Structures are given as C-alpha cells and as structure tokens.
C-alpha cells in the first residue's frame, strides 16, 4: 500500500490513539539520528513514513529533535516514534 502524502501542518490533526503493530525498519533509531543531524546541520528534508489511526502517511520535512518517544519536526510538530515505519534520506 502506498502512503498518503500529507503536509506537516496537518499532522497535529491526526490521531495516534490505537496501538497498532507496525513493521518498523530494523535501523529506525539510526535513521532518526542521521535525519536529525541532517535537519540541524544542513536543513535537509527527509521522507517520514508513519501510521496513524486511519492509515499509512508520508511527510517530507525536516527533523529538528528526537527523544525516546517522539520526534519533533520543523514548526513544533510531533510524531510518536512507535508510529514510524521508516525514514528515507
């Protein structure tokens, strides 16, 4: 299934309440760390593929910070790491 491309400004309207079993990339933490470095040092955008309660989504944006449970995108938008399948640089 192809993810739906959305704008990062719409992420705050999405729901992440349902705990769904997703198949995360085995090196997701490394992808997050690399994307955060690219976002801060080079202002580079990445493609984040994630699952919300209604389906698969993709957003092309910059990651500013990463914690243990969430990533923070440019503009103060947060995505739970548990919902991320993969980050493509």
In this prediction, residue 74 carries a pLDDT of 82
Q: Dmax of the chain from CA atoms?
A: 35
What pLDDT was estimated at residue 84?
A: 97
- Mean pLDDT throughout 58-81? 95
pLDDT digits (tens, 9 = 90+) for 8-30: 999 999 999 987 789 999 999 99
The pLDDT of residue 48 = 98
pTM value is: 0.94
Residue 76, sorted as left (phi over 0), alpha (psi -120 to 50) or beta, turns out to be left
Which fold would CATH assign to domain 4-88? Answer: SH3 type barrels. (2.30.30)
């Amino acid at each position: 299934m192809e993810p739906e491309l959305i704008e990062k400004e719409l992420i705050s309207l999405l729901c992440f309440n349902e705990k769904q079993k997703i198949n995360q990339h085995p090196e997701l933490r490394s992808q997050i760390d690399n994307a955060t470095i690219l976002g801060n040092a080079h202002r580079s955008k990445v493609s984040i593929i994630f699952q919300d309660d209604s389906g698969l989504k993709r957003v092309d944006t910059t990651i500013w910070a990463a914690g243990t449970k969430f990533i923070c995108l440019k503009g103060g938008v947060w995505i739970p790491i548990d919902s991320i399948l993969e980050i493509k640089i």
